[in-house]
């Protein structure tokens, strides 16, 4: 197994001395002289022999069992070890880049921890199914399937597979559609091959039960589950991010260097994917602010009640007497900001012109190639993702279910006039449940019958989506949450045929996809201009917040070498069909949009939106270092966010009550 570790990463030999026992041996003053050195080394070797001897003995028996085609438990140990080392290699290489932290691309304990976890997982498969050939084929299928999925997700989103991604298994059709029609064929082919192998070989190759004794089998299964529960408990009992330093492997892996703030991708690369998974499954949604209490929340309420009063002295309008449309434009981002990319002609001249005349700029995205639902959550609630635990990946499924209150801007409108349009599966990220809880009267999705429209690039076109908005427009004040699908993968659009794009070093197929994406932006540009022209003719006050949720997962990492922030910056504008000021916010977070809408439309605010207005002006993502008043405002938001998500729910309803024409 040690040889397997070394094969997994060429730098493993450099970090072996930093495992917790050897680190103590060489650095904590235990070695006084040559004699004590030999004594301590003897203890270490004896300990290794005691631990490894039973495993080595069983492995020798297992190899003999495999040779004689009579596999039993010993053979399961051998194969589980081999699969664990192989899976560790494939899964880590699927997310590998040249990233290094403190001069390392792997932290001490990372490989050992992951191989042990995978070993227990594969051994559990053998014991649960208790049929050697079936368990072996399932293990191989698992390694191939997850490694390929991890590779593709990382290529498109620069993010590892996470526990929250398991929700997609409930919607395999949508998942395969996003990968293209050929994915069905490959999956069918792989399943057919494995099924054929099993049916043709089960009587002649590697046949027999892993454990004949049911009591022994039960003991092994319980032991493996206890192993996983033990690891879970260790992670769950972390205090200030630390575990007991005496715990083997996990102690040094978790405690030596805290890089949680680097995010899921870097932690998976440096500390292993298994470490990230256990962190996800056991982490708190949000760290408790040290001064959090009922009295501190009451002080914040009083503070921003006064701020709201001051703001409202100069605000004359009410948001519930207007119509607000949030348009999340899938994968929309100006390609002119991508260094070295060549485009035959500008695909978005009309939107660029709109941005010149309106409140506009760049929006900081929390994802690359994905993260749509997280952007939507932040625009609706005003709660930024940057205050949450780095282990949180999907706000709708990990955060929304535990919230004490969901402060959506849609709450300012009559429930009969709240409409969502998203032509995708209604159950993705539990959207159908979320919208139901928010009292949206209508959710138009891909399952609705009677929709008119057409596709571009394999998905519902932006023009068709905009037509649904216009079709559902009435004379009342309304709130629309609109998410387009046109520019989602797969990128496959032939028109206009004379519009092309290329990037240095791209293959013909990659440039073909890039050209298709650029053409799809061209269609977005025309459809958006036409949409606004039609809204301008409607006799009621309408404001549109248009923004791209993230960049497409098309560009190589080298495209952002000179501008790393550019990988997470998209375009936005706020347009109204009536006279409004052109505000100056060149860089905002998605959670800032609601405060901006209130300001641009001169609408009165609640104490909550007064807080968000202060954050927008003094403590948002465009501010590099927060001091004094700005830091205090940021801490106030963090306190409010904690109370809503993980706290006691001390905030009163009055804190969120937006002034309306009736009050």
The CATH number of residue 384's host domain is 3.40.720.10
440 and 498 belong to one structural domain: yes
For 474, the token pair is 């009435």
Any domain includes 90:
yes
Q: Has residue 651 been placed in a domain?
A: yes
For residue 448, what are the domain limits?
A: 294-656
d(CA 44, CA 24): 12
Give the model's pLDDT for residue 230. Answer: 94
Residue 9 structure tokens: 């990463």
* One domain, residues 177 and 303: no
Residues 487 and 562 in one domain: yes
Closest by CA to 396, choosing from 436, 365, 364, 445, is 436
Residue 287 located in a structural domain? no
- Cβ(432)–Cβ(420) under 8 Å? no
In a domain, 662, yes or no: no
580 with 343: CB under 8 angstroms?
no
Chain center to CA of 624: 24
DSSP calls for 431-445: HHHHHHHTT-SEEE-
Same domain, residue pair 332 and 211: no
Q: Buried (b) or exposed (e) across 12-23, using 16+ Cβ within 10 A? A: beebeebbbbbe
- Running DSSP on this structure, what letter comes out for residue 11? T
Distance, in Å, from the CA atom of 410 to the CA atom of 545, rounded to the nearest integer, reads 14
Claim to verify: residue 259 and residue 302 sit in the same structural domain: no
Q: Are 367 and 157 in contact (CB under 8 A)?
A: yes
Distance CA 419, CA 441 (A): 6
The DSSP output letter for 564 is G
**Could you please report the per-residue DSSP string of 160-200?**
---GGGGGGGG-HHHHHHHH-THHHHHHHHHHHHHHHHHHH
pLDDT in the model for residue 129: 92
Q: Are residues 273 and 302 in the same domain?
A: no
Residues 203, 243 within the same domain: yes
Inside any domain, residue 289:
no
**What dihedral do alpha carbons 344, 348, 349, 350 form, nearest 10°?**
150
Residue with tokens 């390929």: 148
Token pair recorded at residue 384: 């930024």
Residues in the chain with pLDDT values less than 50: 1-17, 20-22, 25-33, 37
Give the residue ranges of DSSP H helices in 487-547: 508-536
Q: Which of 557, 509, 425, 492 is CA-nearest to residue 157?
A: 557
What pLDDT sits at residue 5?
46
Element spanning 62, H or E = helix 34-67
pLDDT for 30 equals 45
For tokens 């068709």, what's the residue? 464
C-alpha–C-alpha distance, residues 427 and 248, integer Å: 42
Q: What is the pTM of this model?
A: 0.76
Strands 542-548 and 323-329: parallel
187: which DSSP letter? H
Nearest CA to 337 among 555, 591, 97, 490?
A: 555
Last-in-domain residue among 282, 313, 340: 282
Among 554, 457, 450, 448, residue whose Cα is nearest residue 501: 554
Other residues' Cβ atoms within 10 Å of the Cβ of residue 408 = 24
Let me know: does 607 contact 307? Beta carbons within 8 Å.
yes
Has residue 435 been placed in a domain?
yes
Q: How many residues does the chain have?
A: 663
Asked whether residue 311 is assigned to any structural domain, the reply reads yes
Give the Cα separation of 578 and 573 in Å (integer).
15
pLDDT at 544: 99
Same domain for 310 and 247, yes or no, is no
Answer yes or no: do 90 and 111 share one domain.
Answer: yes
Question: Contact, 105 vs 266, CB < 8 A?
Answer: no
Q: What is the pLDDT of residue 157?
A: 75
| First and final C-alpha spacing in the chain | 71
CA distance 94 to 74: 30
Task: Give the single-character DSSP code of 33.
Answer: S
With respect to residue 397, please indicate whether it lies within any of the assigned structural domains: yes
Shortest CA distance to 333 belongs to which of 95, 572, 70?
572
Q: Does 202 share its domain with 314?
A: no
- pLDDT tens figures, 534-580: 999 999 999 999 999 999 999 988 899 999 999 999 999 999 999 99
Question: Interhelix angle for 349-357 vs 508-536, to 10°?
Answer: 50
Q: Do residue 217 and residue 347 come from a single domain?
A: no
Asked if residue 311 and residue 181 are part of one domain, the reply reads: no
- Quick one: which of 79, 148, 112 has its CA closest to 9? 112
Point out the domain boundary residue: 230, 258, 282. Answer: 282
The structural domain count of the chain equals 2
Q: Give the tokens for residue 239.
A: 């205090």
Closest CA to 637 of 434, 284, 401, 385: 385
The long-range contacts involving 427-432, CB below 8 angstroms and separated by at least 24 positions, are 427/170, 427/171, 428/171, 428/174, 428/373, 429/167, 429/373, 429/394, 429/396, 429/397, 430/396, 430/397, 430/400, 430/401, 431/373, 431/396
Residue 180 burial by CB count (10 A; 0-12/13-18/19+): exposed, middle or buried?
middle
551 burial (CB, 10 Å; 0-12 / 13-18 / 19+) is: buried
Determine the pLDDT at residue 372: 93
Among residues 625, 567, 606, the alpha carbon closest in space to that of 405 is found at: 606
Angle at 430 between CA 428 and CA 434, to 5 degrees: 130
Query: Tokens 């297992």 label which residue?
Result: 62
Which residue's entry shows tokens 């040249």?
98
Strand partners, 482: 327, 421
Domain end position, chosen among 260, 282, 304: 282
């Amino acid at each position: 197994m040690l040889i397997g570790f070394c094969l997994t990463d060429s730098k493993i030999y450099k970090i072996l001395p930093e495992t917790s026992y050897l680190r103590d041996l060489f650095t904590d003053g235990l070695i006084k002289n040559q004699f004590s050195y030999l004594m301590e080394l003897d203890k270490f070797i004896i300990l290794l022999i005691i631990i490894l001897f039973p495993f080595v003995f069983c492995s020798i028996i297992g190899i003999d069992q495999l040779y004689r085609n009579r596999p039993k438990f010993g053979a399961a140990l051998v194969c589980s070890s081999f699969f664990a080392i192989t899976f560790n290699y494939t899964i880590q290489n699927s997310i590998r880049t040249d990233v290094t932290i403190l001069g390392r691309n792997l932290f001490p304990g990372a490989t050992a921890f992951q191989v042990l976890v995978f070993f227990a997982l594969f051994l559990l498969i053998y014991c649960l199914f208790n049929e050697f050939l079936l368990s072996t084929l399932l293990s191989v299928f698992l390694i191939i399937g997850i490694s390929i999925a991890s590779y593709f997700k990382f290529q498109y989103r620069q993010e590892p597979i996470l526990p929250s991604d398991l929700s997609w298994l409930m919607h395999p059709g949508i998942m395969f559609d996003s990968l293209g029609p050929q994915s069905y064929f490959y999956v069918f082919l792989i399943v057919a091959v494995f099924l054929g192998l099993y049916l043709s070989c089960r009587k002649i190759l590697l046949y027999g039960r892993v454990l004949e004794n049911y009591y022994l089998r039960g003991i092994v299964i319980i032991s493996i589950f206890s192993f996983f529960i033990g690891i879970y408990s260790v992670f769950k009992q972390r205090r200030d991010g630390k575990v007991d330093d005496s715990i083997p492997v996990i102690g040094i892996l978790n405690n030596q260097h805290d890089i949680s703030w680097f995010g899921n991708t870097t932690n998976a690369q440096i500390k292993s994917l298994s470490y990230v998974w256990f962190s996800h499954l056991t982490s708190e949604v949000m760290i408790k602010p040290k001064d959090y209490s009922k009295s501190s929340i009451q002080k914040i309420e009083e503070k921003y009640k006064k701020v709201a009063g001051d703001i409202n002295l100069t605000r004359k309008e009410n948001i519930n007497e207007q119509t607000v449309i949030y348009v999340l434009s899938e994968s929309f981002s100006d390609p002119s900001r991508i260094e070295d990319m060549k485009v035959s002609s500008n695909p978005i001249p009309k939107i660029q012109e709109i941005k010149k005349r309106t409140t506009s700029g760049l929006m900081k995205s929390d994802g690359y190639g994905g993260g749509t639902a997280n952007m939507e959550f932040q625009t609706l609630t005003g709660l930024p993702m940057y205050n949450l635990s780095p282990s949180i990946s999907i706000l709708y499924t990990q955060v929304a279910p535990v919230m004490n209150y969901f402060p959506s801007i849609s709450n300012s409108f009559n429930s009969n006039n709240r409409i969502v349009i998203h032509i995708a599966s209604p159950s993705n990220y539990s959207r159908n449940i979320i919208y139901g809880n928010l009292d949206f009267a209508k959710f138009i999705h891909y399952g609705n019958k009677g929709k008119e429209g057409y596709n571009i690039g394999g998905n519902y076109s932006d023009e068709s989506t905009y037509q649904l908005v216009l079709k559902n427009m009435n004379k009342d004040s309304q709130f629309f949450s609109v998410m387009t699908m046109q520019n989602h993968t797969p990128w496959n659009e032939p028109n206009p045929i004379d519009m092309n794009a290329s990037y240095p070093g791209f293959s013909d197929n990659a440039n073909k996809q890039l050209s298709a994406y650029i053409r799809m932006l061209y269609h977005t540009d025309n459809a958006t201009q036409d949409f606004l022209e039609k809204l301008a003719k409607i006799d009621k006050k309408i404001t549109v917040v248009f923004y791209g949720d993230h960049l497409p997962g098309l560009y190589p990492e080298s495209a952002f070498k000179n501008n790393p922030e550019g990988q997470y910056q998209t375009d936005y504008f706020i347009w109204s069909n009536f006279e409004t000021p052109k505000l100056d916010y060149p860089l905002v977070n998605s959670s800032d949009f609601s405060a901006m809408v209130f300001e641009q439309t001169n609408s009165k605010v609640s104490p909550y939106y007064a807080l968000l207005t202060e954050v927008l002006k003094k403590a948002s993502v465009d501010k590099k270092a927060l001091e004094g008043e700005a830091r205090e405002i940021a801490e106030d938001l963090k306190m409010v966010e904690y109370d809503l998500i993980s706290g006691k729910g001390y905030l009163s309803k009055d804190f969120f009550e937006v002034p309306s024409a009736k009050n």
